[in-house]
Amino acid sequence: MERMLSGIKPTGQVTLGNYIGAIKNFLKYQDEYELFIFIANLHAITVFQDKLELKKNTKDIAALYLACGLDPKKVTLFIQTDILEHANLSFVLNCFTYMGELNRMTQYKDKSQKLGESSINVGLFTYPDLMAADILLYDPKYIPVGDDQKQHVELTRDIASRVNNRLGNVFVIPEPLIPENGARIMSLSDPSKKMSKSDESNDKGCIYLLDDPDVAKKKIMSAVTDSDAKIFFDRENKPGISNLLEIYSSLTDISIKDLEKKYSNSNYGEFKKDLANIVKNFLIDIQSKYKNVLDSKIIEDVLESGAQKARLIASKKLNKIYKKLGLAS
């Protein structure tokens, strides 16, 4: 089986955007690939995190992934800081990356524009090198990510080729895998912005998997739409409705075309009410499974055996590079 790897930051509670853009696809991939999933807690601290919240979010992500159907027998699930090689390789890769490349990363540019360059820390600037290290330690072929992360995977490819040219073939060149649908679920209150778990100002626009199902229902009912009242997909001119269609389609596996037909004579209220119930029932189901996972107390064991497997691969790779660089004999 070909290897695949992806990461998620414990910067807040897992959202419906994370589910649709990432987790749902992993359920399929776990049967088709050798899948590695890790919780990127070092990436999380590039913006301030309360320590108790960070611990809770880290554990919740693991529990929610299992609740959503990831099978620890098939998937290697681990925490980034359990494998010290990530930070070590990241520094090595800093030495193979140019300032101009990091300056061009849109995620960094957006954050530095929003927060002002003087309040941006260096960790945020070198974030893509840590991500490249996360990936390159394990030689995965595919990196499934939302489209906001494509640029980082492309930079990883460039860095990997550069290192390969200098040191001989040490890294597999990974490919980003962007889902066709649901790659970018937007905020319900501002469909020009991504539904984001770390955007606290946007709680109404974001559905969390651990939201009270009735609160989530209300969030769908009050989602921003346009005044046209016709239900069809047009991302540019009808971003609100298109986003809701995408959520609907992803949670039910009914194609957007079929949904357009189904709702061709309906108004926004009817459409939203149906979707609100679908979302509510989805959350009730996930939350009951989440509770079972917590009750069964398996998370520590799953993360420990994931870390053991990951550590073996990562330490070999780092050692190989250290030798090539004259840092180990």
* Residue numbers annotated as active site: 111, 194, 197
Chain positions 11 to 70 lying near ligand LTN, rule: CB under 6 A, are 40, 43
State the burial class of residue 316 (Cβ atoms within 10 Å of its Cβ: 0-12, 13-18, 19+).
Answer: exposed
243, interface contact from ligand ATP, ligand LTN, none, CB < 5-8 Å by kind: none
CA 236 remoteness from chain centre:
24
Per-residue contact track with ligand LTN, 114 to 153, x per CB under 6 A? Answer: -----------------x--xx-------x-x---x--x-
Inter-helix orientation angle 268-296/51-68, to 10°: 100
Give the chain's length. 329
Using CB positions, name the residue nearest to ligand ATP: 21
Instruction: Give the 3-state secondary structure of residue 37.
Output: strand
Element (H, E) at 316: helix 299-325
Provide, rounded to whole angstroms, the least separation between the CB of residue 33 and ligand LTN: 14
133 or 275: CB nearest ligand LTN: 133
Separation CA 291–CA 293 (nearest Å) = 5
At residue 234, φ and ψ (nearest 5 deg) are -155, 90
Cα torsion for 143, 63, 298, 317, to the nearest 10°? Answer: 20
7 or 182: CB nearest ligand LTN: 7
Which residues contact residue 82 at a Cβ distance below 8 angstroms, ignoring those fewer than 6 apart?
A: 303, 307, 310, 311
Provide, rounded to whole angstroms, the least separation between the CB of residue 200 and ligand ATP: 10
35, interface contact from ligand ATP, ligand LTN, none, CB < 5-8 Å by kind: none
Say which residue the tokens 């929610």 belong to: 64
- Tokens matching residue 127: 């974030």
Provide, rounded to whole angstroms, the least separation between the CB of residue 22 and ligand LTN: 8
Provide, rounded to whole angstroms, the least separation between the CB of residue 7 and ligand ATP: 6
147 or 270: CB nearest ligand ATP: 147
* Residue 7 interacting with ligand LTN (CB under 6 A): yes
Provide, rounded to whole angstroms, the least separation between the CB of residue 131 and ligand LTN: 4
Binding residues (CB under 6 A) for ligand LTN: these are 5-7, 9, 40, 43, 131, 134-135, 143, 145, 149, 152
